[in-house]
Amino acid sequence: MTSRAKRRSDQLFEQLETISLRAHDADTTDILVVHGQDVLNVPDSTHLPRMKKFRFQLLHQWLIHNFDPCRAADIGGGKGLLAHLLMESGWLATVIDPVPQGLPDKYKDLVLGRRVKIDPAARVPNLPSTFETYHAQYFDLLIGMHAHGSNVKIIDAAAEFGCGFVIFPCCVIDEAFYPPLGVSWLESLADYAVRQGIVLKPFRLNFKGQNIGLYALPRSV
């Protein structure tokens, strides 16, 4: 990442933190704790060396360190690697994607430092559909690493059903609204969530490209 791009990323992250503080100032103390930590103090992982790939593995590690096992929907989950890793960690995970795909043959295990083969018989639950807000009633956490066209729906679903979410908004494709001129997509979504009474927090993972995520906890936490 160039110094100019890093400055832009840091500025965006600061703006998102400012937006998140607006929600913190509201009366939302019932959803501010995860793993015994205030949601605003859960650390990001920017102190680690930046990696070029392994997005799903990095997000998996972040999730299991910051959330208890729960019913998770991997929206736009593609081949289902993230869902598979979560299931291996004791979660109930389902892929929601209109194009069903099989699991990859192998993946890089970041803890072991080597590639691990996936059993050819391994499967993850898969709902072959675009995500709709009513799906959220069956889950505790909605995850969108590549949830094109579903980011606004995820926020709406979280507001309606009280589930948490973790999203990495990137492209603005087939969404319910578009950001105003001069406002980033991340800022628009964060502001939209806060205006619905959702307490959220930005965080970063160590891969190249758009590596800033937004997360909110389930209301029951």
Residue 10 near residue 3 (C-beta atoms within 8 A): no
pLDDT given at position 220: 67
Q: How far apart are CA 144 and CA 154, in angstroms?
A: 8
In this structure, the strands spanning 200-204 and 106-109 are unpaired
pLDDT given at position 51: 58
Domain boundaries, the chain: 3-216
Question: How confident is the model over 88-97, as a mean pLDDT?
Answer: 98
Q: Quick check: 38 pLDDT over 50?
A: no
pLDDT given at position 1: 57
For 3-216, CATH gives 3.40.50.150
pTM of this structure: 0.83
The set of residues, in sequence order, having a beta carbon less than 8 Å from that of 116 and lying 6+ positions away, is: 106, 107, 108, 109
